[in-house]
């Protein structure tokens, strides 16, 4: 059963103030699902029903991962190979019990009619992955500091963590309010601090004064997060989706190429180079500053779940169940190349970290999340009358992304 779900009662019940980040590529705009929406008012909706929900699985067969996706095993157990199995006891929270869910990921609030997507738990092949225990997590991180470094998927991950921890303790906002891009929160009873850094490219970024497009300095890590790493015990770093947007590319202070922007010279850089270099620079920087904490590099969250078109041409993600054992999840070339680059850059950086006695580990959740096209907000991240696009990139809360924190707790505990 799903206790205490808050459902919509009327569109007028919520007022949205949004700031849309717009990038132009000739006549195109940045995909709306990448834009940061600032919801400055909380939702206060009361359930208008008292009946509980009963769920029945549509099918019972487990799912195998495609052999095309390779992962790196941990010494104890490869928790990234497995199946999504039906679990009637999920979810562990709802939008009625957690106040940290952004509106555009609050699928229950906006009336998503199918609820089976809430009932699938990630089960590794080689071992058991325990369900997230908020008290155990807080015991593990007592007197520690964790930094989330990345884009809106990183924030999606962090909000899932806050919801799962809400049963144990409500944190204090130390820097920034709930909806700010960069913030610090504190769990007083456990002396545990979380830093959140909005840095979708991981490296230094400037706006071009003429075109207003981003300039990416691929060999310079973003000092916003790197300058503070001495404060952290854990750094969880990730990023991918923003690398598909227009940008000028710089190395050693010189323009060397671009992404979707015409130049007056020929560049031999492909559309995947800048993503690889951003990870190379960031991971190398953590080694160069001799970071002694634990680095967790999370692989990309799939962006190939659009069907029937792209974000700007009628695409959607309407599936209501995970992909099955005999089904092949589509993978776009850019997603495949970004993922390959992340794995290769991690392997190089991990060797350096190991040589200096430090720990760098891989959270390879991409294969598992490939199988969950049913977990995105689609049209249920806003009211029907709002003229906003469908979202097949972020994840509903609660939803499949909660498994990332099952994995995180396992990795911090071992």
Structure tokens at 315: 């695409």
Query: Mapping DSSP to helix (H, G, I), strand (E, B) and coil, where does residue 386 land?
Result: coil
Cβ atoms within 10 Å, residue 16: 15
Q: Residue 33 CA to chain centroid, in angstroms?
A: 13
287 sits in which H/E element? helix 273-288
Set 219, 316, 391, 402: catalytic member: 391
Set 152, 160, 238, 282: catalytic member: 152
- H helices of 90-133, in order, are none
Q: Report cis status (omega within 30 of 0) of the bond before 398.
A: yes
Set 195, 275, 376, 394: catalytic member: 394
Q: Report cis status (omega within 30 of 0) of the bond before 113.
A: no
Can 394 be counted among the known catalytic residues? yes
Can 223 be counted among the known catalytic residues? no
Structure tokens at 24: 């132009």
Burial of 255 (0-12, 13-18, 19+ CB in 10 A): middle
Cβ atoms within 10 Å, residue 313: 8
Can 210 be counted among the known catalytic residues? no
Helix axes 152-165, 402-413, angle to 10 degrees: 80
Three-state helix/strand/coil letters over 155-220: HHHHHHHHHHHCCCCCCEEEECCCCCCCEEEEEHHHCEEEEEEECCCCEEEEECCCCCCEEEEEEE
List, by residue number, the catalytic residues. 152, 391, 394
């Amino acid at each position: 059963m799903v206790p205490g779900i808050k459902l919509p009662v009327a569109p007028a019940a919520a007022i949205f103030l949004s700031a849309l980040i717009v990038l132009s590529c000739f006549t195109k705009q940045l995909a709306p699902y990448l834009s940061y929406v600032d919801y400055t008012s909380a939702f206060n909706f009361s359930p208008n029903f008292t009946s509980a929900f009963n769920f029945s699985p549509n099918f019972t067969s487990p799912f195998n991962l495609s052999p095309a996706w390779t992962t790196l095993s941990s010494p104890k157990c490869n928790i990234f190979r497995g199946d999504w199995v039906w679990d009637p006891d999920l979810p562990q929270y709802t939008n009625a019990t957690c106040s940290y869910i952004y509106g555009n990921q609050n699928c229950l609030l906006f009336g998503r009619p199918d609820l089976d997507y809430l009932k699938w738990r990630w089960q590794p092949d080689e071992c058991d992955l325990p369900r997230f225990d908020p008290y155990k997590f807080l015991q593990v991180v007592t007197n520690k500091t964790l930094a989330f470094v990345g884009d809106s998927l990183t924030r999606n991950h962090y909000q899932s963590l806050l919801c799962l921890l809400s049963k144990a303790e409500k944190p204090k906002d130390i820097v920034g309010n709930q909806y700010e891009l960069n913030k610090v929160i504190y769990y007083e009873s456990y002396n545990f601090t979380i830093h959140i850094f909005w840095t979708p490219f991981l490296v230094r970024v400037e706006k071009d004064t003429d075109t207003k497009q981003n300039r990416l300095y691929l060999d310079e890590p973003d000092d916003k997060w790197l300058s503070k790493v001495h404060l952290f015990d854990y750094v969880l770093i990730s990023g991918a989706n923003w690398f598909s947007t227009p940008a000028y590319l710089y190395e050693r202070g010189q323009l060397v190429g671009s992404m979707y922007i015409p130049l007056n010279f020929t560049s031999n850089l492909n559309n995947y180079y800048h993503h690889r270099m951003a990870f190379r620079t960031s991971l190398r920087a953590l080694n160069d500053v001799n970071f002694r904490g634990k680095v967790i590099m999370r692989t990309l969250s799939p962006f190939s779940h659009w069907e029937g078109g792209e974000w700007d041409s009628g695409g959607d993600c309407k599936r209501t169940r995970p992909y099955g054992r005999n089904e092949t999840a589509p993978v776009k070339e850019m997603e495949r190349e970004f993922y390959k680059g992340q794995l290769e850059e991690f392997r190089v950086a991990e060797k350096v970290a190991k040589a200096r006695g430090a720990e760098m580990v891989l959270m390879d959740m991409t294969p598992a999340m490939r199988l969950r096209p049913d977990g995105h907000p689609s049209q249920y991240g806003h009211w029907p009358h709002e003229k906003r696009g469908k979202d097949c990139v972020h994840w509903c809360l609660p939803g499949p992304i909660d498994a990332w924190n099952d994995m995180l707790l396992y990795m911090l505990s071992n």
